[in-house]
Amino acid sequence: MNKVNIEKAYELLKENKIVAIPTETVYGLAGIISSKQALELIFKTKGRPLFDPLIVHVSDIEMAKTLTDNWNKTCDVLARAFWPGPLTLILEKNNKVDPLITAGLKNVGIRMPSHPLTLELIEKLNSPIAAPSANKFKKTSPTSALHVHEEFGEAVPILDGGSSEIGIESTVAQVFENEIVIYRPGKVTAGAIKNALLMDGLSHIDVRYGSSPVAPGQLDEHYRPDVPLILLDANSPYEMMKNKVMEAGIKREKIMSFKLPSSPELAARIIYAKMRELSKEKPSAIAFYLPTSIHTDENWLGVINRLIKASSFNFLSI
């Protein structure tokens, strides 16, 4: 594995190269924002189309403010409540942000991650870094250095920071004057955002889930493992799974099932690793059994969103 320490990662980024970095959500494939060469290499390495924008990672609020001229009280409240952490704010970009990063859009996604190694790296660089998840386009995000190595081999140097604690990508939310729209659900829920706003006297700002009118990054078929994934209710009878599998034209002999833990935090931490681990056994399909709490607890939204996409909508009665 092509592991590098923080000093080497710093040097490589300074030389316009790319490095895989650990974050608390998933690993990112990073390049310095002022380097066209690094930005182009990110898209090329991932096989990502240029129309899908990258998010920019900062080490403090002051650095975030250098990327937008529209930082307002709402941004301050959200950044103070959730940064460093799994919340990406979509704001109008200024001319410090290369249009390559935003795929020509007028907005940029900004996040301050909480992994200490990556924070130290950004601070040392004294510059924001652009980083999408460190996986091939449409595939499962990596939550460990080994996963990154499995995606890209020796070609990508990796700053190993252990397993990602949260395990699914950040909540992506656009900040408007009177509302906040969540385009990608994650650990930071609409409820948590509402609470934070309420505590700071911003209760008039509405918070809702919606789809992005401009960024096509949220494709339906995303996060896919190498073999088909089927989702089932914890109580689905075995027969039902077999029928579903036959309907989907999948061979029945070797289906590997896994029962998700009943805590959404624990489930988030392991879903991607489980998909990878079970895929390696070369089963004809993977079946995930979901706990009944998914129907009532908002904290499951992020996990369910990823699983439904990873299964390419191959789910049963959830």
Of 22, 31, 53, 157, the one binding ligand TXA (CB under 6 A) is: 53
Binds ligand TXA (CB under 6 A): choice among 88, 140, 144, 189 = 88
Q: What angle do CA 51, 53, 59 make, to 5 degrees?
A: 165
- Least Å distance, CB 238 to Mg ion, is 34
Q: Least distance to ligand TXA from the beta carbon of 164, Å?
A: 9
Task: Tell me the number of residues near ligand TXA by CB under 6 A.
Answer: 30
DSSP conformational letter for 252: S
Minimal distance, residue 44 CB to ligand TXA, in Å: 15
Binding status of residue 169 toward ligand TXA by CB under 6 A: yes
Using the minimum distance from each CB to Mg ion, give the nearer residue, 182 or 285. Answer: 182
Residue number with CB closer to Mg ion (29 or 207): 29
The region of 71-79, 128-136, 231-239, 274-282 touching ligand TXA under the rule CB under 6 A is 128-136
Q: What's the CA gap between 259 and 289, in Å, rounded?
A: 5
In which order are the strands placed within the sheet that holds 255-259? 229-233, 285-290, 255-259
Q: Output the CA angle 223-225-230, nearest 5 degrees.
A: 95
Which range in 121-129, 151-159, 165-173, 231-239 contacts ligand TXA by CB under 6 A? Answer: 165-173
| 132 close to 17: Cβ distance less than 8 angstroms | no
Of 125-133, 193-201, 225-233, 237-245, the window that binds ligand TXA (rule: CB under 6 A) is 125-133
Choose among 77, 92, 84, 103: nearest CA to 25: 84
Should residue 185 be labelled a site residue for ligand TXA when binding is judged by CB under 6 A? no
* Chain residues 133-172 in contact with Mg ion, contact rule CB under 5 A: 133
Read off the tokens for 241: 């799974």
Q: Return the SS3 of 231.
A: strand
Q: Centre a 10 Å sphere on the Cβ of residue 107 and count the other Cβ atoms it contains.
A: 20
Cα 155 to Cα 3, 6, 291: the distances in Å are 11, 18, 39
Stretch that binds ligand TXA, among 21-29, 63-71, 77-85, 233-241 (CB under 6 A): 21-29
Residue 145 in tokens? 């250095």
224 is written with which tokens?
């896919």
Nearer residue to Mg ion within complex by CB, 132 or 264? 132
**Amino acid at the residue 269:** R
Binding site for ligand TXA (CB under 6 A): 23, 25-26, 28, 52-55, 86, 88, 90, 102, 105, 107-109, 111, 113, 131-133, 169-170, 172, 183-184, 212, 215, 217-218
The binding site for Mg ion (CB under 5 A) comprises 133
